[in-house]
A and B are shown apart, each in its own frame.
Chain A
């Protein structure tokens, strides 16, 4: 069984600034993947970034990067140069490596971008 905890229900950041969204997880699996998904007001989930647990290097996708601390079971998302289009719900999720089950999601963080 896996659990994912997002302790920030809402975060606000000024446009062009940097914001970090927190996520902690727990899993008994040794092989797993971690994801950040974005859900804009239209509600279609979009993958932002993923991290394989066996990789020590933190994943980066343009303005999005993660800080993966495996021992602490922490997986935070950093958004640099925030843009108005980044406003959305952000969900942290965990998935076992075998893929024989669904994603386990946190409750989400509502990100507000102040112009």
Chain B
């Protein structure tokens, strides 16, 4: 399968715990995006990487959130000291900057539930 993959698909955690999600983009894609989607809403942009450089961060990305993309391949999103308000679907997308049309391909998402 050459699509975007995310792991885990579901995560249940207790408030105050740290969680980490992983995203593997389409192999030739140099851009990687993280979004958060709450029930009944459209996805909201969190952060963006071009290769290994994190170029943009939304104000939604509080200090408890950190994202990395070592070597410009897979990416991880870590949430420290989780809160109930962090419960959401976390979506990853990737694109190729040379494509000219900025099409982003999405992964299946990681559903986080904070108890």
Partners in one complex: yes
Q: Once the chains bind, are B101 and A44 in contact (CB under 8 Å)?
A: no
Residue in A44, A52, A103 whose beta carbon sits within 8 Å of that of B104 in the complex? A103
A-B contact count (CB 8 A): 65
Is A25 in contact with chain B by the CB < 8 A criterion? no
Q: Once the chains bind, are B102 and A105 in contact (CB under 8 Å)?
A: no
Is B95 in contact with chain A by the CB < 8 A criterion? yes
Residue in B41, B44, B89, B97 whose beta carbon sits within 8 Å of that of A99 in the complex? B97
Q: Once the chains bind, are B109 and A43 in contact (CB under 8 Å)?
A: yes
Q: Which of B50, B89, B104, B109 has the most CB of A within 10 A?
A: B104
Residue in B42, B56, B103 whose beta carbon sits within 8 Å of that of A91 in the complex? B42
Task: Using known A-B contacts A105-B44, A106-B42, determine if residue A44 contacts B102 with beta carbons closer than 8 Å.
Answer: no
B36-66 interface bits toward A, Cβ cutoff 8 Å, 1 = contact, 0 = none: 0000111111101010000110100000000
Query: In the complex, which residue of chain B has the Cβ closest to the Cβ of A101?
Result: B56
Is B33 in contact with chain A by the CB < 8 A criterion? yes
Q: Once the chains bind, are A107 and B108 in contact (CB under 8 Å)?
A: no
Q: Once the chains bind, are A105 and B108 in contact (CB under 8 Å)?
A: no
Chain A positions within 8 Å of B50 at CB level: 100
Task: Using known A-B contacts A33-B101, A45-B106, A50-B101, determine if residue A100 contacts B42 with beta carbons closer than 8 Å.
Answer: no
SS class, residues of chain B in contact with chain A? strand
Chain A positions within 8 Å of B46 at CB level: 102
Q: Once the chains bind, are B42 and A99 in contact (CB under 8 Å)?
A: no
Q: Once the chains bind, are B91 and A100 in contact (CB under 8 Å)?
A: no
Chain B positions within 8 Å of A99 at CB level: 31, 95, 97, 102
Task: Using known A-B contacts A44-B109, A50-B101, determine if residue A105 contacts B56 with beta carbons closer than 8 Å.
Answer: no
Q: Once the chains bind, are B43 and A103 in contact (CB under 8 Å)?
A: yes
Knowing that A44-B108, A50-B101, A106-B42 are A-B contacts, what are 16 other residue pairs whose CB atoms are under 8 Å apart, sorted by A's residue number? A33-B101, A33-B102, A37-B106, A43-B108, A44-B109, A45-B106, A47-B104, A99-B95, A102-B35, A102-B45, A103-B45, A103-B93, A105-B42, A105-B44, A107-B42, A108-B42
